[in-house]
Amino acid sequence: MKKIIAFTGSTNPDSIHEKLVQSIIKEFDNQAFDFIDLKSFDIPIYSQKIEAEGIPQAVKKLYQRFISADGFLIASPEHNGLPTALFKNTIDWLSRIDQRVFGEKPVLLLSTSPGSTGGKTQLQILENLIPRWGGHLIGLYSLGNFLENFDEENLTLKNPSEKIKLGKAIEALINDAPFNKKNNAMVVQEYFTAFQNGDVEGVINSFHSDCYIVSVKEEERPKEQLHGIYRTRKEAKQFVKNIHNLFNTKDFAIERIIAVEDNLVIANGTFSHEVKATGKLFNSTWVQYCTIVGEKIKEYRFYEDSAAFVEAFKH
Ligand SMILES: Cc1cc2nc3c(=O)[nH]c(=O)nc-3n(C[C@H](O)[C@H](O)[C@H](O)COP(=O)(O)O)c2cc1C
């Protein structure tokens, strides 16, 4: 029998997140869930001074519960666009025992709010952090307009379509099967779609915040030179800018996108760029290697016909 630890990041004694979690426990096999009331652990705000005196017993006790789990159901309220202080503090303390807090186990993130957004902003932040904390993200579920969608008296979701969505998410958690994750080839396809639509923000957002981009040559480059290495999403912006500064793209065709192994996606095709400086066409085949981490392009390598590139720039 699987044991899934369920907790909220709320300090509210009348927490709507706790109600949502309790409704899940009631609806599903309640033997599978072990509800932890984080606030009852009374863990102090992290401080090096306290840690120097020894990690508090309450943190050690919580850690023991965590390592006994097969998965985690986390319902985190959003405070000012972020997860709550209680949630963050708990992660901070646990990470002092083991940085991979969730021990390579599945994690489902939920959030709700009385407003329409349902705490989505912080879910998007947590989405990128859960893998860093050793969690295998199963998916995200957010419920907006809690008061309209939830029957507090009977602890149940009133909205039938939300009930189905949440049910699928919980089953995916129990079966350790991601339900709303993009596959790696889709991540690359979305990158190309953004590029082809001139959606610069979409292109930049396809990259991991800590990405490594090699445009033809794996060497350092002056800022405005196209070929060379770019690091981080900030420089990815420069990469896109450099392409737009040099070329008017006449055609960009994708022949195939193949997910090769665990996180590698290879694509190839052809393009025809008009060089702005000379008016000549730069026609080339291309091949692209991407490694995907957390549904983002972490490493990106793009190769094209560099001899044709030089030719097209000659006046
Ligand atoms: C300090 C504070 C900041 C908040 N910030 C946000 C926010 O950024 N976005 C949001 O959707 N709701 C925000 N809320 C409303 C919370 O979503 C709402 O209080 C929460 O869902 C209640 O959950 P709980 O009863 O489980 O604690 C905020 C509430 C507080 C008290």
Domains observed in the chain:
3-175 (3.40.50.360), 184-312 (3.10.450.50)
Are 139 and 171 in contact by the 8 Å Cβ rule? The answer is no
Pick the atom of ligand 1 nearest to 15's CA: 25
Of 296, 293, 135, the closest CA to residue 203 belongs to 296
The ligand 1 atom nearest the CA atom of 18: 26
For residue 166, how far is its CA from the centre of ligand 1 (angstroms)?
20
Q: How far is the CA of 212 from the centre of ligand 1 (A)?
A: 36
C-alpha–C-alpha distance, residues 166 and 271, integer Å: 43
Report pTM.
Answer: 0.65
Alpha carbon of 79 to ligand 1 centroid (Å): 5
Which residue puts its alpha carbon closest to atom 31 of ligand 1? 79
Give residues (CB < 6 A) around ligand 1.
8, 10, 12, 15-17, 77-81, 112-113, 115, 117, 119
> Using an 8 Å Cβ cutoff, are 35 and 6 in contact?
yes
Cα radius of gyration (the chain) = 24
Question: How far is 210 from 152, CA to CA, in rounded Å?
Answer: 43
Q: How far is the CA of 15 from the centre of ligand 1 (A)?
A: 10
Name the residue of 15, 39, 113 to mutate for ligand 1: max ligand atoms within 8 A of Cβ.
Answer: 113
What's the longest Cα–Cα distance across the chain?
77
Q: Please count the helices (runs of H) and the strands (runs of E) in the chain.
A: 11, 15
Q: Which position has the token pair 């666009």?
A: 81
Nearest protein CA to atom 3 of ligand 1, as residue: 79
Name the helix (H) or strand (E) containing 232: helix 232-246
Number of Cβ within 10 Å of residue 305's Cβ equals 17
Q: Which atom of ligand 1 is nearest to the CA of 75?
A: 26
Q: What is the rounded CA–CA span in Å between residue 264 and residue 111?
A: 31
Q: What whole-number distance in Å separates Cα of residue 77 and Cα of residue 94?
A: 20
Distance between CA atoms of residues 103 and 133, nearest Å:
8
| Mutate which of 7, 19, 78 for ligand 1 pocket (most atoms within 8 A of beta carbon) | 78
Separation of CA 109 and ligand 1 centre (Å): 16
* pLDDT (tens place) for every residue of the chain, 315 residues total: 689 999 999 999 999 999 999 999 998 876 789 999 999 999 999 999 999 999 999 999 999 999 999 999 999 999 999 999 999 999 999 999 999 999 989 999 999 999 999 999 999 899 889 988 999 999 999 999 999 999 999 999 999 999 999 999 999 998 887 766 667 888 999 999 999 888 999 999 999 999 999 999 999 999 999 999 999 999 999 999 999 999 999 999 999 999 887 789 999 999 999 999 999 999 999 999 999 988 899 999 999 999 999 999 998
